[in-house]
Chain A
Amino acid sequence: MSYGIKLHLSGDFACFTRPEMKVERVSYDIITPSAARGIIEAIYWKPQIRWIIDRIHVLKPIRFTNIRRNEVGAKASAPTAAAMNGDIVVLPGIIADDPKTRQQRASTLLRDIAYVIEAHFDILDYRFERGGPELPANDCAGKHLDVFKRRARGGQCFHQPCLGNREFPARFSLIEDGDPLPACELPPEQLNKELGWMLHDLSYLPADKKAKDSFLTGRGKRVRTEPRFFHAQLENGIVTVPPLQSATA
């Protein structure tokens, strides 16, 4: 049985920010695997499953546009974040219209995008890892797969999935098994294209206090992140995503 799904994504704007140009944002040419994972997880995710992106089909010509947006230069402090979560009542706040905080920055965005994301998930069997009985994998996987498909068909999501930035909502629809894929409208010169090194995803590594970029997770574990990159290449309009383990760190 295959646990794979195909999801059709589209939107008017998208900004998959390159890490090297994330101040005055410049987008990657196509959606990154981590952004695609985020969209799928917005539809359905449980701690027991881990989504893995297999292939990205690019359906629309890669086009850029340029806008200026008002952004902020400061981060919300820990008390502000706590207040936003409803943990405390007093809101110290971050005043977005404060001229010291407010910043106008340029962004180079993608226009009018559409992708088909092929993905599957792995079952994480924590109990088995700790010496318990092994889960009957297929049953369990079938359940998650059906939940995902039902939710995607109905347009349900935990939060509105977005294309890189919250300002750019993603439209999605499930492509049923056996259904044809939407037509690819890429011009011939973009069908096969070298996209260079692209962010795959972050891997979280245990760290000690000495590592200066370490931080505490919600569960109180001390970790640090390491970005992993892969060599993205459009072949006939499709980017094949290698497993995260094989991506270069």
Chain B
Amino acid sequence: MKPVAFAYVRPTTLDDAIDELAAAAGSGKILAGGQSLLPVLAMRLSRPGTLVDINAVAGLDGIDRAQETLRIGATVTQRQAERDRVAAAVPLLGLALPFVGHRELRSRGTVCGSLAHADPGAELPAVASCLGATLEIAGPTGRRSVPAADFFAGAMTTTVGPDEIVVAVNFPVAAAGEGFGFAEIARRHGDFALAGVVSRVRSAQGQVLDATITGFGVSDRPVTRDVTGLVASAAEKTDSEAALRAGTDDLAREVVNTVGDGHGSRAYRRRLFAVLAARELARALRRSRAGQS
């Protein structure tokens, strides 16, 4: 389990990092936390010519709360985010972060790195997808912002170019009347999910204004659907979870398209998704109505 030899560069400015990526001419790879990259290197599934370590780059390590967004820089670790009580601003991050790998991995793994790695079973891409987060990307021609919906392009594939760097992610701060839910089923705590859901419901004066569900581990990327109609009609019933459950089977058939594996067939994952989606939408609805996120 030893990687092939690679050149290692550690720039201290973003411009230098972009130059180093350009100099590597397509064989460069960004190293931030390395908790997904190093296993891939160890198994020699990837053989980059140059690793560009961005941990010493100034200005990438901040968690900044603006009025309506929480901005998390590229080298902020998942554990820093957990400790920084980002959950107060973005409750879904607080719900999802304890399920990202193990503590030992979150000590080094970064929030942005998890997004850039885009594992289909990972939690944070689903959170970014459900909330409509925006990613900031820097490259030789300047900066651009990409909404999460346009960022994930497939299993471990994003629309970031080989000469570009994810520098930050902006999560919308929870608004009044928003409630959230998160659940995943994994063989062991910390493993990638067999199936997982992230839910968001916004309501005002008892009326459901909008509702979103994102599934992960069920396709080649996080799958997000607007379920406002389903949640609004279920909200009128006394047992809203049962009412939701009646609708999530159809949703599961449409959303869950993974072929399945030894850990769980497609049918099993559809059942997981249907049950979890109903439960977590009901939970988000309750929280939304109770005025607690």
A, B assembled together = no
